[in-house]
Amino acid sequence: MNKTRKLLSIAGSDPSGGAGIQADLKTFSAFGCYGMAAITALTAQNTRGVVAAFPVAPDIVAAQIAAVMADIPPDAVKIGMVATPEIAAAIAGALGAAPRNVVLDPVLIPTQGASLAAAGLERALMTTLLPLARLVTPNIFEASALSETPLARTTDQMIAQGRMLVDAGAKAALVKGGDLSGEPVDVLVADGETRLFHGRRVATRHTHGTGCALSSAIAAGLAKGEPLIDAIAAAKVWLEGALEAADGLELGEGRGPPNH
């Protein structure tokens, strides 16, 4: 019998189902894994954008994580929206002796609507959660905010920012270049080495929650024991397929999620 692979998402709720824990749980299922979720924040949002975000009290976040860790230790943990520095500290405390496969998607600002991060969250992510991460997966805006350097315009600048995140304690950094023009290139910095992942741009506006889905898909690969590079490559192929099918989902008036 196959071993059940268990994943815990620590993230915010998107009631419209496109991003956050809802996207993470769908992704875990798509990869044949068992999904669990500890909620850091409730948001009010739809395909038109984030209307409001309501962080959960840090001790309630910690209690959810502790309950899961005590009974169903996950094979991988994905951390998404953290919302406040206090919740970052609560997550680090509750995870305890760091689980092996932590993927940190440093959610700060949504593509549309209200901010998902309180003041000081960038610092808290850098000092408290980055050292737990086997992989951190910022887009160029998040990489710039975390590294406190200007927005990258070139692959070399993305590599430099990835190095700063590794120097700050992450085992590896995948800086995603999809927001730059042209064919998308993501850079992986790990163990002093750099690797480029060349993607394919899919013509769709339905990209809501793609960062959530990608980081969860990578975490699922790691939970199965895949090498990091293989997990990233497989996650990207899967996400491109979901983006290609996105226009088939008829949801709302704004930016819907990819179809996975």
Catalytic site positions: 176, 207, 209-212
SS3 of 79-141: ECCCCCHHHHHHHHHHHCCCCCCEEECCCCCCCCECCCCCCCHHHHHHHHHHHHCCEECCEHH
Classify each residue of 85-121 as buried b or exposed e, where b means 16 or more C-beta atoms within 10 Å of its C-beta.
bbbbbbbbebbeeebebbbbbbbbebbebeebbbeeb
Q: Which is nearer to ligand PLP, 73 or 151 (CB)?
A: 151
Binding site for ligand PLP (CB under 6 A): 11-12, 14, 19-20, 43, 45, 50, 80-81, 107, 110-111, 116, 208-212
Do residues 184 and 197 touch, judged by C-beta distance below 8 A?
Answer: no
- State the residue for tokens 């009290």: 57
Q: Which is nearer to ligand PLP, 81 or 89 (CB)?
A: 81
- Cα–Cα distances in angstroms (integers) from residue 77 to residues 73, 81, 205, 224, 242, in the given order: 10, 13, 29, 12, 22
Minimum Å gap between C-beta 164 and ligand PLP is 21
Minimum Å gap between C-beta 20 and ligand PLP is 3
Q: Which is nearer to ligand PLP, 159 or 210 (CB)?
A: 210
Minimum Å gap between C-beta 70 and ligand PLP is 26
Amino acid identity at 69: M
Q: Which is nearer to ligand PLP, 19 or 103 (CB)?
A: 19
What is the rounded radius of gyration, in angstroms, for the C-alpha atoms of the chain? 17
Q: Which is nearer to ligand PLP, 157 or 207 (CB)?
A: 207
Q: Which is nearer to ligand PLP, 26 or 224 (CB)?
A: 26
Minimum Å gap between C-beta 247 and ligand PLP is 17
Minimum Å gap between C-beta 108 and ligand PLP is 9
Q: What's the CA gap between 1 and 228, in Å, rounded?
A: 25
Strand order in the sheet with 102-104: 49-55, 34-46, 6-13, 76-79, 102-104, 135-136, 172-176, 185-190, 193-198
Minimum Å gap between C-beta 37 and ligand PLP is 11
What is the number of the residue whose Cβ is closest to ligand PLP?
Answer: 20
Pairing of strands 49-55, 34-46: antiparallel
